[in-house]
Structure 1
Amino acid sequence: MAKLTQKILRRLGDRPAKLAFGVTNMAPVRRRLEQRYAAALAGHRPALPILSPSDQDIVDTLSRTGVYVTSLEALGIPGSAAMFAAAQRVAADCTDMARRLSDAGRDFIVAPPTAILAHDEIFHWGLSSRLLDIAEAYIGLPVAYDGLALIYTVANGRGGGAREWHRDREDRKMIKVAIYCCDVEPGGGPLQVISRPDLGQTDANGYRYAGGSEEELTSRLGADYRDAVVTCTGAAGTVVFTDTARFFHRGQPAHTHDRTALYYSYFARQTRHPFFCQRSGLNPRQLETLALGMPPRQRNATLWARSLHPVLKIIPPAPV
């Protein structure tokens, strides 16, 4: 039965998610969602975490420019050394696989979920109370933790996919925390962010996730948008906080050397587009296993999909 279900879902592809997106983007539905969102933000405001000055600076900078660059050393989150060493081992183990897949024409290459399960310290690092506080203070609501992906970018110079300018579709606002597992220099596929928010995308106006062509970027961000491009180079251990929902971004095509990076994802637990989430590749049973023994806040963030409306639960997530 499970195999039959998987076969059906593969045939459907992203059609159920696109249909659901179309419904939620209809004007009457948008108005209702906007009202509920505003009420939720106002209701949760008194409960928002109080941040240290340095963490508040991360939130304030994200609000202005959509990107904040630091390092694991500067953050000083407990468990960072063990997490980073494990991530580098996983990245090294994926090298041959990634290059074979790249030679076969695949551009978006992610370490298999089994590798993350074998090194659960990588997964648990993203549930640090401090990271959840930063995400909650920025998003304004209790947060969902959508896990992580270790992305391997082969230096083949190709564009396409995540190497083109785009915005992520999970929610109105979100945070991704990127951690470079190797030195990333110009030509090595650095993350780039256009530090101007796409203000036209709201519940009032509707959501449209067109690709970031020259015409599209000029129309949305101004003819001088290139002046706002931030290129995030850095040594291994560099950490980039960015709002990938409000700001156009891309992984610049890599020419000189391969790039490996972790990407941790956070958005509102009652996210606007749950059918565009669940990107880690971990299935519900694996998430349950990882969540065993977690404190309530971390467990609720990990198992956020449980709190969805029953109708939303039956819509399969769009494939990556």
Structure 2
Amino acid sequence: MVSLTVAAGDADEARPGKARAVRRLVPRGISAMRRQSAFALRSLAETPLVSHWSDQRYDAKRARHAIRLPSVSDEQRTVLADLDDAGVAVRAVDLPPDVVASADRFVGLLRRKTVDKPCVKATPRELAGDPTLFLWGLSGHLLDLAECHIGLPARYLGVEVKRELVESAAGGNHEAVRRWHLDHEDRRILKVVIYLADVGAGAGPFGYVHRSHTAAILESTRGHNLRGVPDDRMQGLVPRTEWTQVTGPRMTAIHVDTGQVFHRVFPPSTSERYSVTFAYSSRSPYYVYSRLMLPRRAIQQLRHSVSQRQWDALCVGRRGPGAG
């Protein structure tokens, strides 16, 4: 198992006590401002005054890149077709043994953590200790899929391994993802969510409504809402019978454009949910989450072990208009 070295200065975990708490407050405040800035930027791009020009420019970029799109397999074409239709494609995934073993190690790590939060995630430092999952997200077939869906060279935003808890499912600061919302990292996003344990109706399944409802929801809610749309409001827009909960066995993969499909996490009621998410955008996103990426030093150590295309997808040195 490969392990990457992380300097103490690259992770808050290395700073104990009050000093660590203080050091975390400022970045979190900056991160919140950057998220709001990205939200405002995307909202501005979708106003009638700006959207016509903005859409034309964006569509022209995608049209110019169309002849450079990579070839994909027949199965990947069906995934792309489902993404273009519903915005979601659910498939079974067969991961390499070393990737499965790495995922299981993180499940064990998260299971051992004692927290009073609705969700606990592997830290960038922990991911650097075993970068197998992170590196799998740079696989050629995933970059191909992301590039073809986005229509532009893909940026790998990183990986998130998390555990959704039953006990704290209704509390903490995780309320936003319990509501219906769109992600605002970019115009087109690809996220691949893989269940690392069986997920039934009581295990916090991923939920979404068909992409065809998105425009009407946005119109009714007057654009993107950072706090999301609560169930009672959504029920008045889309009947509950049209809400989809993705249940499935371990290694169920959900390919979703979270920037175009209203989605949410249903709170676990009977068992915890373990999952890993790989995220992709264009190389000029509105916003990027630094918590999905390995620490800087760990990324630099990958330079000679990845291809040029993979390195380019990491966009080293390019944080985007907002990062947090």
Q: Report the TM-score when normalising by structure 2.
A: 0.80
The CA distance in 1 between the partners of 2:301 and 2:217, in whole Å, is 37
In the alignment, does 2:79 pair up with 1:63? Answer: no
Residue 259 of structure 2 aligns with an amino acid whose one-letter code is: A
Q: 1:47 to 1:86 in 2, by over 3 A?
A: same
* Aligned with residue 183 of structure 1, among 182, 195, 198: 198
Q: Which amino acid aligns with 1:91?
A: V
Cα distance 1:36–1:217, how it changes in 2: closer, same or farther (>3 A)? same
Sort the Cα spacing of 1:43 and 1:218 in 2 relative to 1 into closer, same or farther, 3 A.
Answer: farther
8 A contact 1:144–1:304 mirrored in 2: no
* SS of residue matched to 2:215: coil
Q: 1:301 maps to which residue?
A: 313
* Aligned equivalent of 1:256, options 255, 270, 273: 270
- 1:170 maps to what in 2? 185
Q: Which residue of 2 aligns with 1:19?
A: 37
Structure 2 residue aligned with 1:217: 234
Provide structure 2 residue ranges, at least 5 long, that are not aligned to the other structure. Answer: 1-8, 11-18
Shift of 1:303: 2.3
Paired AA for residue 229 in structure 2: G
Aligned residues of 2:118 and 2:167 also touching (Cα < 8 A): no
Alpha-carbon distance in 1 for matches of 2:197, 2:298: 28
The 3 A distance-change label for structure 1 pair 81 and 303 is same
Q: Distance in 2 between matches of 1:296 and 1:14?
A: 33
- Give CA-to-partner distance per residue, 1:60-90, whole Å, 9 cap, x none: 01111122121223xxx6xx22111111111
> What is the 5 A alignment of 1:33-182?
33-73=54-94, 80-97=96-113, 100-101=114-115, 104=116, 106-156=117-167, 158-159=169-170, 160-182=175-197
Q: Select 1:227's aligned residue among 238, 241, 245.
A: 241
1:122 aligned counterpart, secondary structure: helix
Aligned CA distance change for structure 1 residues 249 and 22 (closer, same or farther; 3 Å)? closer
In structure 2, the residue corresponding to 1:261 is in which secondary structure? Answer: strand
C-alpha displacement of 1:241: 0.9
- Paired position in structure 1 for 2:255: 241
Where structure 1 has 5 or more consecutive residues not aligned to the other structure, the ranges are: none
In the TM superposition, residue 199 of structure 1 has moved relative to its aligned partner by 2.6
Which moved further from structure 2: 80-89 or 13-22?
13-22
SS at match of 2:302: helix
Q: Given the two structures, how large is their TM-score scaled by the length of structure 1?
A: 0.81
| RMSD of aligned alpha carbons | 2.9
- DSSP-derived class of the 2:318 partner: helix
Q: Secondary structure at the match of 2:211?
A: coil
Distance 1:156 1:7 in 2: 26
Q: Relative to 1, partners in 2 of residues 1:223 and 1:240: Cα closer, same or farther, differing over 3 Å?
A: closer
Q: How big is each residue's C-alpha offset from its partner over 1:36-82, in whole Å with a ceiling of 9 and x where there is no partner?
A: 31221111011112222211000001111122121223xxx6xx221
* Cα pair distance change 1:223/1:162, threshold 3 Å: closer
- Give the 3 Å change call, closer, same or farther, for CA 288–207 of structure 1 in structure 2: farther
- Could you tell me how far apart the structure 2 residues matched to 1:153 and 1:118 are? 22
Asked if the contact 1:167/1:244 (under 8 Å) is kept, the reply is: yes
